[in-house]
Amino acid sequence: MTHQTTTLTHPTRSHPPTAVVTGGSAGLGRAVVAALAADGWQVITDARDGDRLTAAVQAIRAEVPNARITQLVGDITDADHRAALAVAVDAAGRLDLLVNNAGVLGPASGEGRYRRLVDVTAEDVGYLWRHNVGAPLVLTALLLPRLVANGGTLLSISSDAALEHYQGWGLYSASKAALDHLTATFHAENPEIAAYAVDPGDMRTAMHQEWFPGEDISDRPLPESVVPHLLGLIADRPPSGRYRAADLPPATSTRPTSPQEV
């Protein structure tokens, strides 16, 4: 396989590489925001919980004093919030990376997220599809012209559930399979961009704990351990497709071997 090439509008000091990372207040999203900020990126991120998002950004800035982070509180299922993200991108001057990370594990109704398909309601389907499929679809479509203009990268966080058949998690699994398909189709329709669906593997996150309520998940790796593989993906820009993070060569930076930043 050959690596993808495209004519890029290279970042400059006044317009550094810019990323939008949805769901940046915790877990893998927060880890990606921190790593990109440390690598010199301008990062636009959001979350539904404003207090948690502010705490996360403050902690990152304490570790990365010169971090360029724009935080927006809101839900990507809301059109006004998506419009605000687009305004932030225009203010940044470019878009090089969109990370579709935000999502939900299961139906909002009931006491737990576990739900056999025979018990799924139309409302459950609408909730999962709106958050895990519809919102990333319309956000990507909204930001696509900015991404295409810079030959950027679309990165959708997937799951092994997109390929497996886990009892009680069929709705979540189907939503991730749909997101994989949409991500691949965005590339097929827009070959100027690279598009990846990446299964990060099991991680020690709140969402993973929801999957295993009451169980000890302290043996799972922290999301920060996945980030070097995502940085390597962005830096190496292999053919668009679906990847397991564990199979990607890790890197400490997204910068190319011969930087063209001026």
List the catalytic residues. Answer: 158, 172, 176
DSSP-derived secondary structure for 50-100: HHHHHHHHHHHHHHSTT-EEEEEES-TTSHHHHHHHHHHHHHHT---EEEE
Give the tokens for residue 107: 């139906």
Burial of 19 (0-12, 13-18, 19+ CB in 10 A): buried
Angle between helical axes of 27-38 and 227-236 (0-180°, round to 10): 50
Which positions ≥6 away from 234 have C-beta within 8 Å?
Answer: 97, 153, 155, 254
How many Å apart are CA 148 and CA 18, to the nearest integer?
13
Dmax (CA) for the chain in angstroms is 58
